[in-house]
Amino acid sequence: MNVRADTPAAPRRRRLLPRFDRAPHVGRGRLIAALAVLVTLLMLLHGWIPDRGPHLGSLVETFLPWTAAAAVALLAAALLRRSRVAVAAALLPAATWAGVHGGTFLDRGTGGPADLTVVTHNVDDVNPDPAGTARALAASGAQLIALEELTGPALREYERTLAASHPYHAVAGTVGLWSTYPLRDTAAVPLVPWRSALRTTAQTPGGPLTVYVAHLPSVRILPGSGFTTGRRNEAAGRLAAELASAPAGRTLLLGDFNGTTDDRALAPVTGRFRSAQEAAGTWFGFSWPARFPVARIDQILLRDLTPVSAWTLPATASDHLPVAASLRW
Give, as one character, the DSSP assignment of residue 279: H
How distant is the alpha carbon of residue 148 from its chain centre? Answer: 16
Q: What's residue 10's pLDDT?
A: 53
Predicted pLDDT of residue 122: 98
pLDDT of residue 13: 56
- 262 in helix, strand or coil? coil
> Which contiguous run of DSSP H or E holds residue 302?
strand 298-303
User: For the domain bounded by 116-328, which CATH number is listed?
Assistant: 3.60.10.10
Q: Is 236 helix (H, G, I), strand (E, B) or coil?
A: helix
Instruction: Report the alpha-carbon distance of residue 46 to residue 42 in Å, rounded.
Output: 5
Phi, psi (deg, nearest 5) at residue 20? -95, 135
Peptide bond into 208 cis (omega under 30): no
Question: Is 118:324 a contact under the CB 8 Å cutoff?
Answer: yes
pLDDT (tens digit, 0 to 9) for every residue of the chain, 329 residues total?
454 545 555 555 555 545 555 444 445 688 999 999 999 999 999 999 988 889 999 999 999 999 999 999 999 999 998 888 999 999 999 999 999 888 777 777 777 899 999 999 999 999 999 999 999 999 999 999 999 999 989 999 999 999 999 999 999 999 999 999 999 999 999 999 889 999 999 999 999 999 999 999 999 988 878 899 999 999 999 999 999 988 889 999 999 999 999 999 999 999 999 999 999 987 889 999 999 999 999 999 999 999 999 999 999 999 999 999 999 99
Which residues, other chains included, contact 85 with Cβ-Cβ below 8 Å and sequence gap of 6+?
24, 28, 29, 30, 33
Q: Where are the domains of the chain?
A: 30-105, 116-328
Evaluated on CA atoms 135, 197, 259, 326, the torsion sign reads negative
